Amino acid sequence: MSEQATCELLSEDLRTKVWRWSFESGQATGMHTHEYDYIAIPISGGDFTATFESGEVSEVKQVAGVPYQREAGVRHNVRFVGAGHASFIEVEFLTH
């Protein structure tokens, strides 16, 4: 099994990009910086950790269907630490 989560571009226009992130237990996004404000909508829910550039680690409990928002500039690696499979939709807002 790869350590890399799967990311699929579902939709793109001048205002938004919509991605689906899919994880098996232990898989991660890799360290990345969000260039745009975004909203994430968990499909399955699950337990994740977010490791920031500073080394700080945050536990994140996603709840299926409960969205959350973040502003551009967030730099982190997100790892699924739960069992089985997890996924969420991420919508990036390309305009301000």
Low-confidence spans in the chain with pLDDT less than 50: none
pLDDT tens digits along 60-79: 999 999 999 999 999 999 99
18 DSSP 8-state letter: E
Output the pLDDT for position 2: 72
Q: Are 34 and 25 within 8 A, CB to CB?
A: no
Predicted pLDDT at 91: 98
Domains, the chain, ordered by start: 6-93 (2.60.120.10)
- The answer to whether the beta carbons of residues 47 and 26 sit under 8 Å apart is no
Report pLDDT for 78: 97
